[in-house]
Each structure stands twice: as structure tokens, then as C-alpha cells.
Amino acid sequence: MLRWHLLRWRGWQLALHKICRSDDDRALHDHVGDNITLVLRGVYLEVLHENQPRKYRGGVTRFAFRKAETPHRIEVPFGPVWTLWLRWPPRREWGFHCPKGWRHWKDFVAEADIYKSGTSTIGKGCD
């Protein structure tokens, strides 16, 4: 995902996202604050629970609101997806929903900093 911050004010964040590929499918994730997505171009499928049907986002269903605690992941079936994303001020830590329970993002993702090295590696995940 490529992200351009358009506005940051008192914890609020407005960003333009170019989602180039699907989220990691090892676990659903949540966020630090409630958020709303407006799909500007393209479509994606949102997985809210592994045993439920995926929700189509794009076309007629351009808006998606979710509470910070809502576990989800995004599947991009074709092409990049452009979204406008508004996040409320942070009120919690974020992480991943593993089979044995919630895991803080620092314990799930790789230590490497993509902005310094230009590459990233897969982290420990749910292991």
C-alpha cells in the first residue's frame, strides 16, 4: 500500500491510499481508531470473518465504516484500488487477530524498516 497523508490534525488522519495487493492472509487486523473508507477507483473485497462472505467495496458500495476493534483484511482481485481514508483519533493499540488470540502489531510484523532498506520481510505472524 502506498499512502499520502493529506491531513493530520489533533489525532485525525486523512490519507489517500493506493492499495496494490491484498493484505497478508495469515490474520485479520484492526486499527488504532474508528475509520471510514471511500473507494475512489477500483474494487476490493473485505474479509470481516473467515467464515462469513466477503463484502464487496467499490461501485455502488463505495463507503465502509468500521470501529477500531473490527478485525478485517482486504483482498484486491485485480488492479490497484484508490481510496480516501479518514481515521478518528487513536484510542487503542492495533494488531492482528490470531487463532490463539490478539497479537500486537510489533509482535506480528517484521523488524525491518521498509523506508530505510527499500524492502520488507515477512514477520513472525501468529507463530
This prediction has a pTM of 0.87
Q: What's the pLDDT band for 110 if we cut at 50, 70, 90? A: confident
Q: Is 114 part of any domain?
A: no
- Is 76 within the bounds of a domain? yes
**How far is C-alpha 22 from the chain's CA centre?**
10
Q: What Å distances lie between residue 54 and 49, 105, 107, 116, CA to CA?
A: 8, 23, 27, 35
Q: What is the pLDDT of residue 111?
A: 66
- Domain span at residue 16? 2-94
Q: Does residue 106 sit within a domain?
A: no
Q: pLDDT tens-digit profile of 55-76?
A: 999 987 899 999 999 999 999 9
Q: How confident is the model at residue 24 (pLDDT cuts 50, 70, 90)?
A: confident
Whether residue 117 is contained in a domain is answered as no
CATH code of the domain containing 8: 2.60.120.10
Q: What is the mean pLDDT of residues 40-49?
A: 94
